[in-house]
Amino acid sequence: MRPLVFLPIGPSSLAQVDDDRLVALIRSGHKAAFTELHARHRPGLERVAIAVLRGSNHDADDVLQEAFLSAYAALRAIDRPIVLKAWLAMIVRNKAIDVLRQSHAARVDPDSERSLALVPAPMGDPSDVACLREEVREVVDAIARLPDRQRLALVRRELEGRPVGEVATGLGATVSSTWSLVNRARAGVAGDRRRGAARAAA
């Protein structure tokens, strides 16, 4: 995991930076760069979320908050090239579809539960923002320590929300072996965080 660094680019200059440079700055730890990404792309992504959720009682803001948290964690965890606007739209669209699917599953099966949430749920209370950021940092650190194939499978499935068949194709693996990679990665992240909590409490 890269240490956070502060690069000599101020918030006012970030508006002039293209998306590729913005991604590089985020991956280098430039905190204000993600704020610029959010401001630049949120309006268009809100339209994506509203279009997918149309006709449901779900809030686009909740989808966007979860999507941006996932995007930040994914950008910090992997280095592969992306087309930022399309990549963010894919995350938002898939998050919104997941919300609709989970809602349907809950109606069909009241005992159904979401899989392990790697990125903490958004918090409305401003006093909890620092806690949320720390939790996201812990998740990103844990993901960065995973073996490469587990990390890629987890990021693409859990953070980007890609269908498992697409993830399997990208990895050159079967669907069953991809699920195995994802589940081992989930267990690895959960175990890493438990060990970190135990060390902090010691």
- Sorted by where each starts, the structural domains of the chain and their CATH numbers stand as 1-114 (1.10.1740.10), 120-202 (1.10.10.10)
Task: Report residue 200: phi and psi, to 5°.
Answer: -65, -35
With residue 65 as reference, give the H or E element that holds it. helix 60-77
How confident is the model over 11-60, as pLDDT tens digits? 568 888 999 999 999 999 888 899 999 999 999 999 999 999 988 878 89
Q: How far apart are CA 156 and CA 158, in angstroms?
A: 6
Contact 151, 78 (CB under 8 A): yes
Specify the length of the chain in residues.
202
Question: The pTM is what?
Answer: 0.71
How confident is the model over 115-151, as pLDDT tens digits? 445 665 555 554 555 666 677 778 888 888 899 999 9
Contact 139, 189 (CB under 8 A): yes
Q: How far apart are CA 6 and CA 16, in angstroms?
A: 18
